[in-house]
């Protein structure tokens, strides 16, 4: 019994973990050269910089048990600083707990935001690394799936380079615009509508400084700017205050979230931060991350469309969909989604 997982983001990796634990023969096909999808942690010189998610809401229940199974539960760290600020253009004002999230369009219950965030000591990449490690060579990279078709009661996958992979069951854990295209071509009616989910671009710059370069005291986890503000910075996380271990002693790591920008993002971010945080000198280093399609936002009726497509999939050989594009945008929701998709195909392949 061969099960193919398409996409090695956190949802696909969680699915592969669940399947492997159940004894299935799993192959993961990933179009990029590294697993993790938008989860990217870079470590250099004692700094831990995130290119994608930096944590999850502590109230969300799906990551700690998985971390326990993977042996990394002891690496979970909790938010060290509380509260955030609003930059008015000339001064900082303290924001009520939860207001910063609302200003940034993060959809979460206020009491969950108030309960704070959690992460891994070595960054969110610890989770995807721990999920990928036991899979070893069963993650095939870079191998993008270009088509899926029924072949009797099983699936035949076309992959880049003209290869074909046969599988008894499939977990499709792709950005939903890609999943919709593959499903539509495989004749799943209604699948095309899933592509109505909009993905917003994300541009962030991580900047490292010595503490002595920062003229203004850093209070809380960071600051946001009002939507009508001048400048390109929409929010700044004081990364090394938010979670422990993000910068070596005597140093600070900042992460700026930018609107689309003309020019070099790192230079623009530093220039704007210089005024706001009374910075002196230049950053020790910077790292820019850009996702042209970052975080999905669902249109009205999304859940019903997903449910309809899932119903249609029941009439086909075992195939389940998972990921941020269908079941919730956070890492925790993606873990749940991946594991549940694995359970669906396991149930169907065992005939129960």
Ligand X SMILES: Cc1cc2nc3c(=O)[nH]c(=O)nc-3n(C[C@H](O)[C@H](O)[C@H](O)COP(=O)(O)OP(=O)(O)OC[C@H]3O[C@@H](n4cnc5c(N)ncnc54)[C@H](O)[C@@H]3O)c2cc1C
Residue numbers at the binding site for ligand X (CB under 6 A) = 6-12, 29-32, 37-39, 52-56, 144-145, 173-175, 178, 202, 204, 291, 294-295, 323-324, 329-332, 334
Shortest distance, CB of residue 306 to ligand X, whole angstroms? 13
For residue 223, list its beta bridge partners: 85, 236
Q: Which is nearer to ligand X, 128 or 349 (CB)?
A: 128
Shortest distance, CB of residue 155 to ligand X, whole angstroms? 14
Shortest distance, CB of residue 175 to ligand X, whole angstroms? 5
Shortest distance, CB of residue 330 to ligand X, whole angstroms? 3
Q: Which is nearer to ligand X, 2 or 202 (CB)?
A: 202
Supply the DSSP string of 227-245, one letter for each residue. Answer: TT-SSSEEEEE-HHHHSTT
Q: Which helix (H) or strand (E) holds 206?
A: strand 198-210
As a whole number of angstroms, the distance between CA 127 and CA 148 comes to 29
Shortest distance, CB of residue 90 to ligand X, whole angstroms? 29
Shortest distance, CB of residue 239 to ligand X, whole angstroms? 11
CB 127 within 8 A of CB 331: yes
Supply the DSSP string of 284-329, one letter for each residue. Answer: SEEEEEEEEEEEEEPPTTHHHHHHHHHHHHTTSSSEEE-SHHHH-S
CB 270 within 8 A of CB 213: no
The CA distances from residue 50 to 46, 148, 237, 313, in Å, are 13, 33, 11, 36
As a whole number of angstroms, the distance between CA 22 and CA 93 comes to 52
As a whole number of angstroms, the distance between CA 279 and CA 106 comes to 29
Q: Which is nearer to ligand X, 206 or 213 (CB)?
A: 206
Q: Which is nearer to ligand X, 100 or 279 (CB)?
A: 100
Q: Which is nearer to ligand X, 140 or 274 (CB)?
A: 140
Q: Which is nearer to ligand X, 2 or 31 (CB)?
A: 31
């Amino acid at each position: 019994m061969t099960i193919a997982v398409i996409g090695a983001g956190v949802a696909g990796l969680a699915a592969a973990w669940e399947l492997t634990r159940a004894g299935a023969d799993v192959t993961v096909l990933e179009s990029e050269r590294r697993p993790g999808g938008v989860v990217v942690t870079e470590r250099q010189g004692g700094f831990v910089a995130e290119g994608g998610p930096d944590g999850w809401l502590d109230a969300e229940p799906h990551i700690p048990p998985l971390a326990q199974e993977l042996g990394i539960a002891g690496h979970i760290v909790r938010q060290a600083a509380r509260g955030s600020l609003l930059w008015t253009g000339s001064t900082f004002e303290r924001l009520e707990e939860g207001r910063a999230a609302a200003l940034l369009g993060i959809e979460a219950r206020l009491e969950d935001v108030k309960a704070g965030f959690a992460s891994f000591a070595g960054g969110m990449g610890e989770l995807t690394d721990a999920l990928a490690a036991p899979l070893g060579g069963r993650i095939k990279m870079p191998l993008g799936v270009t088509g899926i078709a029924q072949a009797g009661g099983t699936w035949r996958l076309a992959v880049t380079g003209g290869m074909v992979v046969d599988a008894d069951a499939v977990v499709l854990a792709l950005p939903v615009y890609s999943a919709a295209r593959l499903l539509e071509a495989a004749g799943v009616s209604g699948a095309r509508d899933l592509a109505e989910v909009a993905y917003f671009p994300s541009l962030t710059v991580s900047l490292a400084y010595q503490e002595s370069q920062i003229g203004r005291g850093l209070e809380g986890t960071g600051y946001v700017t009002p939507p009508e503000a001048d400048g390109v910075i929409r929010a700044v996380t004081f990364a090394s205050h938010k979670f422990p271990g993000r910068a070596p002693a005597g140093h600070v790591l900042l992460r700026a979230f930018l609107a689309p920008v003309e020019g070099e993002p790192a230079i623009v971010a530093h220039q704007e931060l210089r005024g706001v945080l009374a910075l002196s000198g230049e950053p020790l280093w910077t790292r820019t991350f850009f996702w042209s399609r970052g975080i999905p936002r669902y249109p009205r009726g999304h859940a019903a469309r997903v449910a309809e497509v899932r119903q249609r999939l029941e009439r086909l050989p075992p195939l389940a969909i998972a990921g941020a594009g269908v079941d919730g945008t956070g890492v925790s929701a993606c873990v749940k989604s991946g594991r549940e998709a694995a359970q669906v195909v396991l149930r169907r392949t065992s005939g129960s």
